[in-house]
């Protein structure tokens, strides 16, 4: 046999030719595989668990599809266990532009049919994503296949796209669910020693009769625990009596908690916090409950509104003065009249013109009334307010792009809107608008020396 020996350049040429041949032969095949990786249509998640009386959603997802122009599928289930609530189009096909989406739900036979197509002379969409989302309601206990069938995928040249489809499966358990529905207290203002009756409405929202405990609280302290047994769907009102003997004067938050029953998953409604009751003190007693500045960073020369909450904890109607302070400097004094157990919010305006830049502590003082003995709560101190260069929204000593950005992000907002940020309301007029941006722009690049 003749031995063939390849050396140097010959070897390189030989390898190059081999590589070229390999590319020519297998290249198209690999390319084909890239596009022809079988598309799949599947139920996601493939296994779902839910409880009777609950809704759950599944997605019908597609993966590895190339040039998808239209799709259709049917999904069936055990109609004794499930009802379809709705079907919505997923984002996959419409990422390329307009689509049209139709569905038909047959809850008697337990199936739905969904169609979707792109519109016009446009290419299909490639890749992976969600075709549709199906929301179902669990009516009964058991298991059901979520059978994805008669799936059709059509390309933009009106050819069938080969694919595989994968079903889902659901397990539907009976529901254990108890809840506190409401808390109603009466009376809501008492003298120490008086009883407060608290009516707590509880409900069994599950599909089993349940026995469970209900505990009523004032703040974090237990008032009483009671046990109750409720049939399916039943509710009842439990009355708790809170004897306020020995309770200090003040405001207390009431809540009630239902113990978690075995197998319960929805526990968010087992606790209800609702209502504040006031325990008064005998005699004369006024207090400042809170001091809240409109914002904590204020441009020098712009007014700051400060809200002071005052309350009368005594048993007499009182007329008294409330003074707001910045450090030890009086901002304003206002006179209020409050009946027993009532409170009010007083608005003060601090004119910051000629106030030096820096941090200031704000506080308020309710002048003691004749006969008042507990004056500890007549004073309330609440943090600091920074006086800065107008426009220095973040109080870092310079008006720069960061401040502009903070204003821009909150632009157009008012108190209560999601973007609202009071420090961006430079002129304090209750809206973040062009006037605030102008203030920041006028002082742009100013800095504390």
Residue ranges binding other proteins (CB under 8 A): 69-72, 74, 100, 102, 104, 113, 115, 117-121, 152, 154, 156, 158
Minimum distance from residue 122 beta carbon to other proteins (Å): 8
- The Cβ of residue 122 has, within 10 Å, a number of other Cβ atoms equal to 12
State the first-to-last Cα distance of the chain, in angstroms, to the nearest integer.
95
Minimum distance from residue 94 beta carbon to other proteins (Å): 13
Q: For residue 71, what are the CA distances in angstroms to 116, 244, 368?
A: 5, 68, 77
Would you say 74 or 334 has its CB closer to other proteins?
74
Minimum distance from residue 300 beta carbon to other proteins (Å): 55
Would you say 70 or 110 has its CB closer to other proteins?
70
Nearest residue to 230 (alpha-carbon basis) of 250, 247, 213, 255: 213
CB 138 within 8 A of CB 54: yes
Minimum distance from residue 161 beta carbon to other proteins (Å): 11
3-state secondary structure 416-442: CCCCCCHHHCCCCCCCCCHHHHHHHHH
Minimum distance from residue 160 beta carbon to other proteins (Å): 9
Minimum distance from residue 101 beta carbon to other proteins (Å): 9
Minimum distance from residue 21 beta carbon to other proteins (Å): 38
Would you say 92 or 242 has its CB closer to other proteins?
92
CB 290 within 8 A of CB 317: no
Nearest residue to 407 (alpha-carbon basis) of 449, 443, 448: 443
Would you say 14 or 149 has its CB closer to other proteins?
149
CB 364 within 8 A of CB 289: no
Minimum distance from residue 100 beta carbon to other proteins (Å): 5
Would you say 70 or 314 has its CB closer to other proteins?
70
Would you say 104 or 447 has its CB closer to other proteins?
104
Give the pair of three-digit tokens for residue 213: 């405990």
Nearest residue to 449 (alpha-carbon basis) of 376, 370, 356: 356
Write the Ramachandran bin of 110: left for phi over 0, alpha for psi from -120 to 50, otherwise beta: left
Would you say 131 or 364 has its CB closer to other proteins?
131
Count of residues making up the chain: 449
Pairwise CA distance, residues 336 & 281, whole Å: 19
CB 389 within 8 A of CB 399: yes
Would you say 72 or 266 has its CB closer to other proteins?
72
């Amino acid at each position: 046999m003749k031995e063939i020996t390849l050396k140097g350049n010959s070897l390189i040429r030989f390898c190059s030719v081999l590589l070229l041949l390999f590319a020519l032969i297998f290249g198209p095949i690999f390319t084909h595989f890239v596009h022809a990786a079988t598309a799949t249509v599947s139920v996601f998640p493939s296994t779902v668990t839910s409880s009777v009386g609950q809704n759950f959603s599944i997605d019908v997802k597609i993966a590895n599809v190339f040039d998808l122009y239209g799709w259709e599928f049917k999904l069936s289930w055990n109609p004794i266990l499930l009802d379809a609530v709705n079907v919505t189009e997923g984002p996959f096909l419409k990422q390329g532009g307009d689509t049209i989406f139709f569905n038909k739900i047959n809850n008697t036979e337990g199936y739905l049919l969904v169609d979707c197509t792109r519109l016009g002379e446009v290419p299909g969409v490639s890749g992976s994503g969600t075709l549709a989302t199906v929301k179902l309601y669990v009516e009964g206990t058991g298991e059901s296949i979520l059978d994805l069938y008669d799936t059709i995928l059509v390309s933009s040249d009106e050819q069938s796209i080969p694919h595989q489809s994968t079903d889902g499966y659901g397990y539907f358990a009976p529901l254990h669910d108890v809840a506190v529905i409401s808390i109603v207290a009466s009376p809501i203002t008492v003298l120490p020693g008086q009883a407060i009756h608290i009516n707590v409405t509880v409900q069994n929202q599950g599909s089993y009769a349940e026995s469970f405990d209900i505990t009523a609280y004032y703040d974090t302290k237990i008032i009483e625990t009671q046990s109750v047994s409720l049939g399916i769907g039943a509710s009842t009102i439990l009355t708790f009596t809170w004897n306020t003997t020995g309770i200090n004067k003040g405001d207390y938050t009431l809540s009630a908690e239902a113990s978690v029953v075995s197998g319960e998953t929805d526990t968010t409604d087992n606790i209800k916090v609702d209502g504040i009751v006031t325990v008064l003190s005998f005699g004369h007693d006024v207090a400042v409950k809170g001091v809240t500045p409109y914002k904590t960073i204020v441009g020098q020369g712009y007014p700051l509104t400060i809200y002071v909450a005052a309350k009368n904890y005594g048993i007499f109607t009182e007329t008294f003065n409330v003074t707001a302070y910045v450090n030890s400097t009086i901002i304003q004094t206002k006179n209020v009249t409050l009946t027993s157990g009532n409170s009010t919010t007083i608005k003060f305006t601090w004119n910051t013109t000629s106030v030096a830049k820096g941090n200031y502590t704000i506080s308020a003082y309710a002048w003691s009334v004749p006969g008042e003995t507990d004056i500890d709560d007549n004073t309330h101190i609440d943090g600091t307010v920074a006086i800065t260069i107008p426009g220095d929204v973040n109080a870092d000593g310079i008006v720069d792009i960061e401040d502009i950005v903070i204003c821009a992000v909150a632009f157009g907002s008012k108190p209560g809107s999601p973007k609202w940020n009071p420090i961006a309301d430079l002129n304090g007029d209750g809206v973040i608008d062009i006037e605030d941006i102008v203030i920041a722009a006028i002082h742009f690049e100013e800095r504390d020396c």
